[in-house]
Amino acid sequence: KLTSREFHPDNTVVDVDGLKIGDGSFVTMAGPCSIEGLDQIRETARIAKAGGASILRGGAFKPRTSPYAFQGLEEEGLKYIRQAADEFDMKVITEVMDEAHIDMVVEYSDILQIGARNMQNYKLLSAVGQTGKPIGLKRGIAGTIDEWLNAAEYIAVSGKSDVIFIERGIRTYETATRNTFDLSAIPLIKKLSHFPIIADPSHGTGVWDLVTPMARASVAAGADGMIVEIHPDPANAWSDGQQSLNEKNYLRMMDEVNVLVKAM
């Protein structure tokens, strides 16, 4: 298989418009769950950059459990995140939910995120694989490692896009955390595939004060980076505030993570 370590023994270093993922460095993507407006994403970009993140995250198309919940600012939001990232010299990762929006998202984003709910949307995987943009592929909510690898294969076989695996936790019987963060997926994916894997301890735990310990653990487990949700005012975030770090806690997490990155 194209994504397998057997096929390609060396690590694939993903080039995000000049920024490398999988080269032994630890890359941080940070930002709000949802883009809420220009001021909010600019302020979050400032915080993200201050902590050392090089990629700004934020959703403009949100896959919400309830159809009555905020669904995202769509193209307006994409314009805001691009503007904020450019101002702070950052790259952009944002989710594309629908084939019909691929051209639009490609215009504004450096990495296309495939959400957990779409890990097995094979038409979408094939279509994003043809864009040539790196694809951040979240693990499905109940996705096995084998299903996840096959999803990546759909992307790899359909064109020229590289894959960045994103471990974001899986559904188990446990309800004390939002998901069960599968730390072992990090070394396992690295063993089975040559593509990089990053951790998403925010969705992996769903609880803000569990995010930093799992971020630290992800470095120790050999992750190529992480994607974390931060917000200038988590209590008033339009989505996922309970798992978002404020400025102070984010900066502290990054200090702790950097100590471990240096030690690795």
Q: Which stretch binds Mn ion (CB under 5 A): 128-136, 160-168, 207-215, 238-246?
A: 238-246
The minimum distance between CB 146 and Mn ion, in angstroms, equals: 26
Residue 115 binds ligand PEP, judged by CB under 6 A:
yes
Considering the complex, state which of residue 237 and residue 254 has its C-beta at the smaller distance from ligand PEP. Answer: 237
Q: Which two tokens stand for residue 54?
A: 């090089």
Nearest to 95 by CA among 121, 123, 58, 69: 58
In the range 140-199, which residues lie near ligand PEP by CB under 6 A?
168
Query: Minimum CB separation from Mn ion for residue 194, in Å?
Result: 28
Q: In the complex with Mn ion, which residue's Cβ is closer, 224 or 240?
A: 240
Binding residue for Mn ion, selected from 95, 110, 182, 240, defined by CB under 5 A: 240
Is the Cβ of residue 51 or residue 115 nearer to ligand PEP in the bound state? 115
**Token pair 């939910």 in the structure block, residue:** 97
Residue 236 is classified by DSSP as G
CA-closest candidate to residue 3, choices 225, 161, 237:
161
Euclidean distance between CA atoms 264 and 258, whole angstroms: 10
Torsional sign, CA 20, 221, 57, 138: positive
DSSP 8-class letter at 34: B
Task: Work out how close the CB of 240 gets to ligand PEP at its nearest, in angstroms, rounded to a whole number.
Answer: 6
Select from 63, 132, 187, 213 the one that contacts ligand PEP (CB under 6 A): 63
168 binds, among Mn ion, ligand PEP, none (CB under 5 to 8 A by kind): ligand PEP
Closer CB to ligand PEP, residue 120 or residue 258?
Answer: 120
Q: Which stretch binds ligand PEP (CB under 6 A): 9-17, 114-122, 180-188, 230-238?
A: 114-122
The distance of closest approach from Cβ of residue 115 to ligand PEP in the complex, given in angstroms and rounded to an integer, is 3
Minimum separation from the CB atom of position 8 to ligand PEP (A): 26
* Cβ distance to ligand PEP smaller for residue 141 or 261: 141
The upper half-sphere exposure of residue 56, i.e. CA atoms within 13 Å in the direction of its Cβ, equals 33
Q: Which two tokens stand for residue 117?
A: 């709910």
Q: Check residue 72 and give left, alpha or beta (phi > 0: left; psi -120 to 50: alpha).
A: left
Count of residues touching Mn ion (by CB under 5 A): 2
Task: Find tokens 């000049």 and name the residue.
Answer: 18
The phi and psi torsions of 59 (rounded to 5 degrees) equal -95, 135
Q: Does position 33 bind ligand PEP by CB under 6 A? A: yes
14-16 vs 19-21, strand pairing mode: antiparallel
Closest CA relative to residue 12, chosen from 222, 197, 227, 187: 197
Binding site residues, ligand PEP, CB under 6 A? 33, 59, 63, 115-117, 138, 168, 203
Binding site residues, Mn ion, CB under 5 A? 33, 240
